[in-house]
A and B are shown apart, each in its own frame.
Chain A
Amino acid sequence: MEQIFFQAEKLTAGYHGLPLIRDLTFSLKKGEILTVIGPNGAGKSTLLKSIAGLLEPLGGKVVLGDGELDSLPRAERAKRVAFVFTDRVRSEYLTCGEVVASGRYPYTGRFGLLSNRDRDVIEEGIELLRIRELRDREFDTLSDGQRQRVLLARAFCQEPELLLLDEPTSFLDIRYKLEFLSLLQEMRRGRDMTVILSLHELELARRISDRLLCLKDGRMDRFGEPQSIFSGDYIRHLFDLQADWFDETGLARLSDGI
């Protein structure tokens, strides 16, 4: 378990050939949760998208286990990496059951027929995320918190080794945020999943993360355990906060928002 499982090496990515993140190098052990924090526009989504394969890296590479991610065939990659991003699901008449079942896509054959094993995994995902009563509901009609859980169940069905989440809590109220936190930890425990997510809520990040990656202007400003990142006035530096906005009690005040 002490071995390095995930590694980004000099990862550079961006849009239209212009890098938004540069030379990111960091590594994780299997089952760790990494949270990416930083001001708006620092490149958090860009980093997650390039690991997800939605954005081709401009330089560097990402290694998962024994292989480079970009050299994997699509289906293979989808079996190892799943993501839940904020993109809208656009379809009428799409039931939650169908959304969850689509997580088995990389495992099914030419016509997408589900095997018994596929069905078992789907049931497990539905059980784990407690969405049984949503199963026949249309995805469109759900609340944000419910959608989040359905998409997490889909990601679970991909049985990934690496799960990527882009600001998964931004539309959730406090109750769902806390619920999400415990769900994430359950998923990690059950599957020994490595998780990389981005968060705005610092207090939440401090609580769930094994590692924190601080992005500023597209570069890795710091990488380490939450205790060390949150000690001193580093956070103030990261977000360019003025001293009188932020002090020992100010952290509590700022994070009331979680």
Chain B
Amino acid sequence: MRERSSNAVRRAAALFLLAAGCVLCMACSILYGSISIPLHEAVETLLGQSVDEVASRIVIEIRLPRACEAWILGGALALSGYLLQTFFHNPIAGPFVLGISSGAKLTVALSMIFLLGRSVRVSQGMLIVSAFAGAVASLALVLALSGKVRSMAKLVVGGVMIGYICSAVTELVVTFADDADIVNLHNWSRGSFSGMTWEHVRISAVLVFAAAVLVSLISKPINAYRMGESHAAGLGVNIRLLRVELILLSSILSACVVAFAGPISFVGIAVPHLIRRCLKTEAPGWMIPGTFLGGGLFCLACDLIARMVLAPVELSISTVTAVFGAPVVIWLLMDRKRED
């Protein structure tokens, strides 16, 4: 009994540390950049008492929405990865690895070029819808593949290939797009949190938090499902419904990320693994808040690094997430107890 309650205390402490880390990173994101803003000034600005016009604009209009968006979308990515890993019973699954991010990227690029070519103003809603369509389409491909191949390794390789095909087509489309579109597309297709506005934050917060609430509502069947399908079915889980819910929710989450920040690699696969190791459980009651906070923290930190390391040049966010995320995936591959 004592061992179990001490486990709970340890896990709660880990979640608290993650949340504290998020707050700390968010503060750093607000304070540091091409212009450093002293803490007291930032606090005054946030309280609405600032006198310095420039500093207040930087904080309120640029850095704060960017930090919020990095946190929300990072959490969304990690949660999406956790859902996919649950679905495939495989810790190496993730939205980027399975080609879902690239599929969404392709449809977003296509619709951006198509709409801009007809000088229609592209709204965020349209981008999200097209990203979602791309995510679902490439996930459908992956699923068709998973019906054919039983081995997870082959499935992952298949997903990576689907990702490459989508990226190649995207590159092709971008090459033939008009100059004006390219600037827009090029930054976005490499993945970046720059240029986030409060409108972006509002839309993605509503979508991501709604999806996160829905994920929490199915945490009970997820908990049974992690034992395996027949075990869950025997306990009364509606397997088919749960699988559809997992697919749709993870697609919404990763589509939302792609629509706003472009494809971001390795967060969806590395963060759930790190969180699992650190909480020492796969129970969704811990994993759902854990992966969300962990993903948020990871992206906040990576965005800070992307901005700071070679300032004033900004790295693409995927460059940084790959540097930190890819070794985790390698560790994960070597760490697996059994190979299936």
Interface residues of A, Cβ cutoff 8 Å to B: 52-54, 74-79, 82-83, 85, 87-94, 97-99, 102-103, 105-106, 108, 110-112, 136, 140, 158
Q: Are B235 and A103 in contact, CB atoms less than 8 angstroms apart?
A: yes
Is B220's CB within 8 Å of the partner chain A?
yes
Is B322's CB within 8 Å of the partner chain A?
no
- The 5 closest A-B CB pairs, nearest first, are A78-B236, A112-B220, A105-B235, A75-B236, A74-B236
Is B50's CB within 8 Å of the partner chain A?
no
Q: Are A91 and B220 in contact, CB atoms less than 8 angstroms apart?
A: no
A51 to B: closest C-beta gap in Å: 12
Question: Inside 8 A of A91's CB, which chain B residues have their CB?
Answer: 226-228, 282
30 A-B pairs in the complex with CB atoms less than 8 angstroms apart: A53-B233, A54-B233, A54-B234, A74-B237, A83-B234, A87-B229, A87-B230, A88-B228, A89-B227, A90-B89, A90-B228, A91-B228, A91-B282, A92-B91, A92-B282, A92-B337, A94-B226, A94-B282, A102-B223, A102-B231, A102-B235, A103-B235, A105-B235, A105-B236, A106-B236, A108-B220, A110-B220, A112-B219, A112-B220, A136-B4
Question: Inside 8 A of A75's CB, which chain B residues have their CB?
Answer: 236
A224 to B: closest C-beta gap in Å: 29
Question: Inside 8 A of B229's CB, which chain A residues have their CB?
Answer: 87
Known A89-B227, A92-B276, A93-B281; 6 more pairs at CB < 8 Å: A76-B236, A77-B236, A91-B227, A92-B337, A93-B280, A105-B235
Question: Inside 8 A of B237's CB, which chain A residues have their CB?
Answer: 74, 105
Cβ-defined partner of B230 (8 Å) among A54, A93, A103, A105: A54
* Of listed B217, B227, B234, B236, residue having the most chain A CB within 10 A: B234
Interface residues of B, Cβ cutoff 8 Å to A: 3-4, 89, 91, 217, 219-220, 223-224, 226-231, 233-238, 276, 280-283, 337
Task: Say whether, besides A93-B276, A105-B220, A87 and B235 are in contact (CB < 8 Å).
Answer: no
B274 to A: closest C-beta gap in Å: 14
Task: Say whether, besides A74-B236, A78-B236, A93-B276, A136 and B227 are in contact (CB < 8 Å).
Answer: no
**Whole-angstrom CA separation of A91 from B86 in the bound complex:** 10
Q: Which residue of chain B has the shortest Cβ distance to A72 in the bound complex?
A: B236
**Whole-angstrom CA separation of A82 from B231 in the bound complex:** 10
* Of listed A77, A78, A82, A97, residue having the most chain B CB within 10 A: A78
**Whole-angstrom CA separation of A90 from B234 in the bound complex:** 15
Q: When A and B form their complex, what is the total count of cross-chain residue pairs whose Cβ atoms lie within 8 Å?
A: 74
Question: Inside 8 A of B219's CB, which chain A residues have their CB?
Answer: 111-112
Task: Say whether, besides A93-B280, A108-B220, A74 and B231 are in contact (CB < 8 Å).
Answer: no
**Whole-angstrom CA separation of A74 from B221 in the bound complex:** 13
Task: Say whether, besides A77-B236, A111-B219, A93 and B227 are in contact (CB < 8 Å).
Answer: no
Q: Are B282 and A106 in contact, CB atoms less than 8 angstroms apart?
A: no
**Whole-angstrom CA separation of A110 from B216 in the bound complex:** 10
Question: Inside 8 A of A82's CB, which chain B residues have their CB?
Answer: 234
Cβ-defined partner of A102 (8 Å) among B89, B217, B224, B238: B224
**Whole-angstrom CA separation of A118 from B231 in the bound complex:** 19
A136 to B: closest C-beta gap in Å: 5
Question: Inside 8 A of B228's CB, which chain A residues have their CB?
Answer: 87-91
Task: Say whether, besides A93-B282, A111-B220, A112-B220, A106 and B231 are in contact (CB < 8 Å).
Answer: no
Q: Are B337 and A140 in contact, CB atoms less than 8 angstroms apart?
A: yes
**Whole-angstrom CA separation of A52 from B230 in the bound complex:** 10
A188 to B: closest C-beta gap in Å: 19
B47 to A: closest C-beta gap in Å: 38
**Whole-angstrom CA separation of A97 from B283 in the bound complex:** 12
Q: Are B227 and A99 in contact, CB atoms less than 8 angstroms apart?
A: yes
B117 to A: closest C-beta gap in Å: 48
B332 to A: closest C-beta gap in Å: 11
Question: Inside 8 A of B91's CB, which chain A residues have their CB?
Answer: 92
Question: Inside 8 A of B4's CB, which chain A residues have their CB?
Answer: 97, 136
Question: Inside 8 A of A90's CB, which chain B residues have their CB?
Answer: 89, 226-228
Question: Inside 8 A of B280's CB, which chain A residues have their CB?
Answer: 93
Q: Are B230 and A106 in contact, CB atoms less than 8 angstroms apart?
A: no
Q: Are B235 and A158 in contact, CB atoms less than 8 angstroms apart?
A: yes
Q: Are A78 and B235 in contact, CB atoms less than 8 angstroms apart?
A: yes
Q: Which residue of chain B has the shortest Cβ distance to A140 in the bound complex?
A: B337
Question: Inside 8 A of B235's CB, which chain A residues have their CB?
Answer: 78, 102-103, 105-106, 158
Question: Inside 8 A of A79's CB, which chain B residues have their CB?
Answer: 236
**Whole-angstrom CA separation of A222 from B247 in the bound complex:** 47
Question: Inside 8 A of A77's CB, which chain B residues have their CB?
Answer: 236
Q: Which residue of chain A has the shortest Cβ distance to B89 in the bound complex?
A: A90
Q: Which residue of chain B has the shortest Cβ distance to A104 in the bound complex?
A: B235
* Of listed A85, A93, A136, residue having the most chain B CB within 10 A: A93
**Whole-angstrom CA separation of A136 from B227 in the bound complex:** 16
Q: Which residue of chain B has the shortest Cβ distance to A135 in the bound complex?
A: B4
**Whole-angstrom CA separation of A102 from B228 in the bound complex:** 12
**Whole-angstrom CA separation of A26 from B27 in the bound complex:** 71
Task: Say whether, besides A74-B236, A112-B223, A140-B337, A89 and B231 are in contact (CB < 8 Å).
Answer: yes
Q: Are B227 and A85 in contact, CB atoms less than 8 angstroms apart?
A: no
**Whole-angstrom CA separation of A108 from B224 in the bound complex:** 12
B10 to A: closest C-beta gap in Å: 13
**Whole-angstrom CA separation of A199 from B228 in the bound complex:** 24
**Whole-angstrom CA separation of A94 from B222 in the bound complex:** 13
Question: Inside 8 A of B281's CB, which chain A residues have their CB?
Answer: 93
Q: Which residue of chain A has the shortest Cβ distance to B286 in the bound complex?
A: A93
Question: Inside 8 A of A89's CB, which chain B residues have their CB?
Answer: 227-228, 231
Q: Which residue of chain A has the shortest Cβ distance to B91 in the bound complex?
A: A92
Q: Are B233 and A102 in contact, CB atoms less than 8 angstroms apart?
A: no
